[in-house]
Amino acid sequence: MAFKMLAVAAVAVFLAFVSEEAASQAAGAGGLNQVCLGCICEAASGCNTTIGCVGDICGPFHITWGYWSDSGKPTLNGQPASDNNAYANCVNDAYCAARAVQGYMEKYSQDCNNDGTINCDDYARIHYLGGYGCGGALEKRYENAYYNCRNSFAQ
């Protein structure tokens, strides 16, 4: 119960950072809505928006440079993607990072679990395992955090 409340609180904080515009754009990726983005964020880092970069992974979504590049290299405040800091500046900002996740899902969207539907469960797998390996096994901590969050918002 305590984890469930914590997950809901973390997603609520994340949702406060992500604008309605980003959510409506993300919804175009079929099921990649604010709750889905929030649960992916929760599974990746506990939705820690101040985490910064640790090694080659940055921001609340734990995005690598390659992921950001594949997502279309969104930037913050019109910064040129060629700037040395464009990647880190974007993926450490919740709104820009959510746009990166959206771009990545638009590129790699697929039915990873073979249930006949492309939904947030697939996006969570694509985010963690990549666009070419999303049928593989998820790391248990990530998987549990994602499903606990998702189930907190199930209707």
As a whole number, mean pLDDT of residues 24-41 equals 77
154, burial (CB in 10 Å: exposed 0-12, middle 13-18, buried 19+): exposed
- Give CA–CA dist 133/43, Å, rounded: 18
Which string of DSSP letters, residue by residue, matches 103-148?
HHHHHH---TT-SS--SHHHHHHHHHH-TT-TTSPPPHHHHHHHHH
pLDDT digits (tens, 9 = 90+) for 73-110: 999 999 999 999 999 999 999 999 999 999 999 999 99
Question: Is 15 part of any domain?
Answer: no
pLDDT digits (tens, 9 = 90+) for 45-74: 999 999 999 999 999 999 999 999 999 999
Placement of tokens 């609180």 in the chain: 9
Tokens describing residue 128: 């963690």
Question: Is 71 part of any domain?
Answer: yes
Question: Is 17 part of any domain?
Answer: no
Domain holding 133: CATH number? 1.10.530.10
Question: Is 79 part of any domain?
Answer: yes
Q: Is the pTM of this model over 0.85?
A: no
Give yes or no for a contact between 146 and 39, defined as CB atoms under 8 angstroms apart.
Answer: yes
Question: Is 3 part of any domain?
Answer: no
30 — pLDDT class (breaks 50, 70, 90): low
20, burial (CB in 10 Å: exposed 0-12, middle 13-18, buried 19+): exposed
Question: Is 29 part of any domain?
Answer: no
As a whole number, mean pLDDT of residues 112-131 equals 97
How large is the greatest C-alpha to C-alpha distance in the chain, in angstroms?
45
Question: Is 14 part of any domain?
Answer: no
Residue 124 scores a pLDDT above 60: yes
Question: Is 49 part of any domain?
Answer: yes
Tokens describing residue 101: 């996740």
Give yes or no for a contact between 70 and 104, defined as CB atoms under 8 angstroms apart.
Answer: yes
Q: CB 83: neighbour CB atoms within 10 A?
A: 11
- Give CA–CA dist 79/60, Å, rounded: 20
Range of the domain at 41: 34-152
Q: How many independent structural domains does the chain possess?
A: 1
User: What letter does residue 63 receive in the DSSP assignment?
Assistant: B
